[in-house]
């Protein structure tokens, strides 16, 4: 297993039962400089009333609170595996209403619940907001990043542990991060060879079952030893990933094409919108009229035709695309066409 492509077992697998758990909660952020929720967010006013009641402040039932310095938020966090009471985790705070910005706010104590509905952590702290939002009286505004979401480092304290049978189970299951039959087979062979016994087996491309030997020592030390074993991963199908939101195209190594001829051209549609004003003469009985005028022009730039030879590499594909000045949208269209024509050996994925 001395290949330059070998990876440690810990890089290729996750131990079943040792994983993160998601926590969520509803809370209130205070201390905002007039950028909180507006009067439309009725639940924010109700939350403030409920909070004040807990401190002995009774508000009239028909009272309408306009607390622009507060905002209703959702709090989310990941409970790391094995964390104990008193340890702290980071939290993410996101606006639930129509707050303009959470900058300068403080999250009040918020219970965080798991999928079973039980409370596992308590969150509180000052928000760190990476975004900036500013607006003028004329309606002009500028926004950098997102000012309605932020984080509180170490903002939640674990109050309840998540039970696990990891320490008592007689077997151990490793789940492959990228399922592959050859990788699973190589893992089984490497483990059995390392321990000199048939303690590992697999029935699919997703997981490996390991019988923990009696002389393995502590469970943690056994897993640490497993994670250091070097594995030769199997060959995955190359991927081309399109990000439809940002227009980003990511092509993995190993993408090749069959002999192909591609013709690429750009169709450009230009629409100009103008307004004409018809002004009647003085003392006339006519009315001033404003009529819209639209001008539509369609033009097509010179098409490019190019050919890829059999087994053209990723570098050859990139060089050809760059030489014709294609945009990411053009590249996406070309690769989708190659895939539909059966000339691309990669799997297309849109995120």
d(CA 37, CA 99): 4
CA angle 89, 93, 94 (to 5 degrees): 150
CA angle 129, 133, 134 (to 5 degrees): 140
**Residues 47, 132: one domain?**
yes
Residues 155-167 as b/e (b if ≥16 CB within 10 A, e otherwise) read bbebeeebeeebe
DSSP state of 128: B
**Residues 52, 181: one domain?**
no
Residue 166 lies in a domain: no
**Residues 132, 69: one domain?**
yes
Residue 2 lies in a domain: no
What is the model's pTM? 0.63
pLDDT in tens, 44-78: 888 888 888 888 888 777 777 777 889 999 999 99
**Residues 138, 185: one domain?**
no
The per-residue pLDDT for 323 is 74
Residue 278 lies in a domain: yes
The per-residue pLDDT for 2 is 45
**Residues 252, 224: one domain?**
no
- Last residue of a domain, which of 231, 252, 280? 231
Residue 168 lies in a domain: no
**Residues 153, 59: one domain?**
yes
pLDDT along the chain (351 residues), means of 10: 70 86 94 83 81 83 77 94 92 91 92 94 92 61 76 95 76 88 92 89 90 73 88 81 75 74 61 68 71 62 65 70 72 77 77 77
**Residues 148, 30: one domain?**
yes
**Residues 31, 108: one domain?**
yes
| C-alpha dihedral (80, 86, 91, 96), degrees to nearest 10 | 120
- Last residue of a domain, which of 184, 205, 231? 231
**Residues 207, 245: one domain?**
no
Number of domains the chain is built from = 3
The per-residue pLDDT for 195 is 87
Residue 276 lies in a domain: yes
Sheet containing strand 248-251, strands side by side: 248-251, 239-243, 347-350
Q: Which of 264, 265, 255 has its CA nearest to residue 343?
A: 255
116 backbone dihedrals φ, ψ, rounded to 5°: -85, 0
Taking a C-beta distance cutoff of 8 angstroms, is the pair 63, 53 a contact?
no
**Residues 108, 70: one domain?**
yes
The per-residue pLDDT for 51 is 86
The per-residue pLDDT for 238 is 78
Six-digit token string for 287: 């009315």
Q: Which of 211, 254, 275 has its CA nearest to residue 346?
A: 254
The per-residue pLDDT for 251 is 76
- Last residue of a domain, which of 212, 231, 250? 231
Cβ-proximal residues to 242 (8 Å cutoff; 6+ apart), any chain: 248, 249, 332, 348, 349, 350, 351
d(CA 290, CA 269): 26
**Residues 84, 58: one domain?**
yes
The per-residue pLDDT for 135 is 62
Residue 249 lies in a domain: yes
Query: Which structural domain, as residue segments, surrounds residue 335?
Result: 239-350
**Residues 13, 26: one domain?**
no
Cβ-proximal residues to 25 (8 Å cutoff; 6+ apart), any chain: 74, 75, 76, 110, 111, 112, 113, 123
The per-residue pLDDT for 1 is 43
Residue 148 lies in a domain: yes
Residue 135 lies in a domain: yes
């Amino acid at each position: 297993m001395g290949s330059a492509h070998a990876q440690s077992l810990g890089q290729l697998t996750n131990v079943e039962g040792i994983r993160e758990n998601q926590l969520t909660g509803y809370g209130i952020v205070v201390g905002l400089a007039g950028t909180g929720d507006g009067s439309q967010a009725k639940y924010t006013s109700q939350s403030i009333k409920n909070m004040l009641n807990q401190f002995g402040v009774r508000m009239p039932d028909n009272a309408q609170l306009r607390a622009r310095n507060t905002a209703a938020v959702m709090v989310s966090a990941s409970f790391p595996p094995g964390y104990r009471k008193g340890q702290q985790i980071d939290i993410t705070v996101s606006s639930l209403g129509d707050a303009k910005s959470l900058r300068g706010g403080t999250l009040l104590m918020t219970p965080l619940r798991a999928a079973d509905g039980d409370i596992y952590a308590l969150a509180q702290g000052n928000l760190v907001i990476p975004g900036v939002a500013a607006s003028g009286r004329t309606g002009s505004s500028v926004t950098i990043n997102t000012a309605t979401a932020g984080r509180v480092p170490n903002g939640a304290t674990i109050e309840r542990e998540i039970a696990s049978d990891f320490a008592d189970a007689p077997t151990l299951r490793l789940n492959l991060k990228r399922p592959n039959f050859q990788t699973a087979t190589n893992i089984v062979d490497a483990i059995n060879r390392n321990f000199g016994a048939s303690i590992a087996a697999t029935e699919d491309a997703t997981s490996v079952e390991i019988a923990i030997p009696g002389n393995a020592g502590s469970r943690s030390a056994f897993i640490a030893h497993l994670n250091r074993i070097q594995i030769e991963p199997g060959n995955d199908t190359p991927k081309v990933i399109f990000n439809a939101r940002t227009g980003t195209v990511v092509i993995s190594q190993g993408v090749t094409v069959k002999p192909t001829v591609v013709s690429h051209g750009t169709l450009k549609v230009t629409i100009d919108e103008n307004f004409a004003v018809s002004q009647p003469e003085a003392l006339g009985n006519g009315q001033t009229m404003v009529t819209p005028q639209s001008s539509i022009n369609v033009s097509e730039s010179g098409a490019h035709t190019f050919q890829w030879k059999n087994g053209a590499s990723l570098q050859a594909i990139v060089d050809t695309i760059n030489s014709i000045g294609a945009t990411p949208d053009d590249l996406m269209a070309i690769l989708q066409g190659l895939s539909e024509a059966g000339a691309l050996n990669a799997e297309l994925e849109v995120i």
